[in-house]
Amino acid sequence: MAIIRSILDTDLYKFTTSYAYSKLYPRAYGQFRFIDRAKTRYPEGFAELLRQELQQMAELQLTRDEAQFLTRELPYLPPTYIDFVRGFRFDPDEVHVSQDEEGQLSIVAEGLLYRVTLWETPILALVSELYYKVLGVEPDLAYAEQSIIAKAQRLKEEGITFSMFGMRRRFSSDIEDRVTRLLKEYSGTNFYGTSNVYFAYKHGLRVSGTHPHEWVQFHGAMFGYKMANYMAMEDWINVYDGDLGTVLTDTYTTDVFMRNFSKKHAMLFTSLRHDSGDPLLFADKVIARYRELRVDPQIKYIIFSDSLDAERAIEIAKHCKGRIGTSFGIGTNFSNDVGAGIQPMNIVMKLWKCKMTEKDKWHPCVKLSDVDGKHTGEPEEIDLAQRTLGLI
């Protein structure tokens, strides 16, 4: 049986970003590259097994019930885009997979951005689940369920509002399904929802999510690094007109973002998302910036989503209490805590280059993390971006 069994088995931000590209930049092209930060040596033949899974994804088709769910739960996506998703088919020819003699895996997805962006999260979920399956790693289901129930109850006791952000590095689809059900059962209304559209559909949950680094990366490549955050926010507002009001801050470091964050954007966006660096320091910087802009931080939120577990979320919430609202997106610690000695994968797919039309020249894309060593992109372009932004 195929691992990905529904077009909805993806994170919300893939659909919202796809629609934004289709509305504003329908002729833009992009290339995504797979990055394994742990430099895993994959078993011989892994690339071929992955290609087989990708081929099976070409058969996926949105059902009528799924389309009705999108229409009902994602009202900011217009009927024209829902119709596009109903007719959408994954094209495996857009993805090139190979494996070298040392077992290193290469995955490159390239094509029109409104289409090719939809490959990112399913590919990561495929690699993760397929890796454990090929190695014969079995989850300890009793441990996994006991662990998630304890976390769910602990978060509920502390009054923490949180969402499930666990698809990309999940142990398996089945584990994510079980975890989602248990969080709903044991956390109640403290469990805000899930970023996985399919499991929101299956379990009757809110679909929860933000926008991705790639949106800002694209704007950096097209409009320059100094204007990237500003243009990305302006375009998001133009597309969604106040819906989906969370903005990601660390594509070119949080300090650069804060310089770009105007009062207009501080008022229009409901929340900022933290995804790298010290979360407590980040909260202090955000609160200080809101006050500098004469915006009451207590009417705003921070969504924390960087390598969280329940205890870390509780610590952060206590630091922010009475100062700014908080919510939490907890991912791998929910979807891949399945037994002693089973380590989650450290994998991502990032926008590597883009261009405005097929005939244009490619522009390299980079991401400058708040954590040293997590920058992505070609070294010379990373250096250029850092110099342009005064980071060197």
pLDDT one-digit tens code per residue, 327-345: 999 999 999 999 988 999 9
Residue 147: the pLDDT is 97
Pure H helices in the chain: 12-24, 46-57, 64-73, 79-87, 113-116, 120-135, 141-157, 173-187, 197-203, 213-223, 228-240, 254-260, 263-268, 279-292, 310-320, 332-335, 379-388
pLDDT higher than threshold 80 for residue 372: no
Q: Are residues 155 and 178 in the same domain?
A: yes
Residue 7 C-alpha from the chain's centroid? 16
For residue 388, being part of any structural domain is answered with no
Residue 157: left (phi > 0), alpha (psi -120 to 50), or beta?
Answer: alpha
Instruction: Give the pLDDT band of residue 1 (cuts 50, 70, 90).
Output: confident
pLDDT higher than threshold 90 for residue 381: yes
The rounded percent of the chain whose pLDDT value lies above 90 is 96
Residues 141/133, Cβ–Cβ less than 8 Å: no
Tell whether the torsion through CA atoms of 148, 149, 154 and 159 is positive or negative. positive
93-129: burial string, b at 16+ Cβ within 10 Å, e else: ebbebebeeeeebebebbbbbbbbbbbbbbbbbbbbb
For residue 95, being part of any structural domain is answered with yes
Residue 7: the pLDDT is 98
Say how many CA atoms lie within 13 Å of 40 toward its Cβ. Answer: 21
Instruction: Give the pLDDT band of residue 287 (cuts 50, 70, 90).
Output: very high
Phi, psi of 66 (to 5 degrees): -65, -40
Q: Are residues 131 and 145 in the same domain?
A: no
For residue 233, being part of any structural domain is answered with yes
Q: Is the pTM of this model over 0.85?
A: yes
For residue 392, being part of any structural domain is answered with no
pLDDT higher than threshold 80 for residue 74: yes
Count the domains in the chain.
Answer: 2
pLDDT digits (tens, 9 = 90+) for 114-165: 999 999 999 999 999 999 999 999 999 999 999 999 999 999 999 999 999 9
Q: Are residues 77 and 160 in the same domain?
A: no
What is the spatial distance between Cα 107 and Cα 99, in angstroms, rounded to a whole number? Answer: 9
For residue 43, the enclosing domain spans 12-137+345-361
Q: Are residues 68 and 201 in the same domain?
A: no
Q: Are residues 147 and 59 in the same domain?
A: no
What is the spatial distance between Cα 286 and Cα 291, in angstroms, rounded to a whole number? Answer: 9
Residue 211: the pLDDT is 83
Q: Are residues 294 and 151 in the same domain?
A: yes
For residue 206, being part of any structural domain is answered with yes
Q: Are residues 24 and 114 in the same domain?
A: yes
Which CATH number is 63's domain given?
3.20.140.10
Instruction: Give the pLDDT band of residue 241 (cuts 50, 70, 90).
Output: very high
Pairing of strands 363-364, 347-355: antiparallel
Q: Are residues 133 and 148 in the same domain?
A: no
pLDDT digits (tens, 9 = 90+) for 165-221: 999 999 999 999 999 999 999 999 999 999 999 999 999 999 998 889 999 999 999
For residue 217, being part of any structural domain is answered with yes
For residue 4, being part of any structural domain is answered with no
What is the spatial distance between Cα 273 and Cα 278, in angstroms, rounded to a whole number? Answer: 13
Residues 194/180, Cβ–Cβ less than 8 Å: yes
What is the spatial distance between Cα 95 and Cα 4, in angstroms, rounded to a whole number? Answer: 16
Residue 296 C-alpha from the chain's centroid? 28
Phi, psi of 137 (to 5 degrees): -80, 125
Average pLDDT for 300-308: 96
Residue 209: the pLDDT is 85
Residue 54: the pLDDT is 98
Average pLDDT for 268-294: 97
Q: Are residues 168 and 258 in the same domain?
A: yes
The rounded percent of the chain whose pLDDT value lies above 70 is 100
Please list, in sequence order, all residues whose beta carbon lies within 8 angstroms of the beta carbon of residue 203, skipping any fewer than 6 positions away.
Answer: 180, 181, 184, 194
What is the spatial distance between Cα 121 and Cα 98, in angstroms, rounded to a whole number? Answer: 18
What is the spatial distance between Cα 314 and Cα 325, in angstroms, rounded to a whole number? Answer: 13
Q: Are residues 349 and 217 in the same domain?
A: no
What is the spatial distance between Cα 385 and Cα 2, in angstroms, rounded to a whole number? Answer: 41
308-320: burial string, b at 16+ Cβ within 10 Å, e else: bebebbbebbeeb
pLDDT digits (tens, 9 = 90+) for 8-57: 999 999 999 999 999 999 999 999 999 999 999 999 999 999 999 999 99
The rounded mean pLDDT for the chain is: 96
Q: Are residues 116 and 184 in the same domain?
A: no
For residue 372, being part of any structural domain is answered with no
Q: CB neighbours (10 Å) of residue 135?
A: 11
Residue 359: the pLDDT is 96
What is the spatial distance between Cα 94 and Cα 311, in angstroms, rounded to a whole number? Answer: 41
Q: Are residues 70 and 180 in the same domain?
A: no
Lookup: tokens for 106: 């290469």
pLDDT higher than threshold 80 for residue 373: no
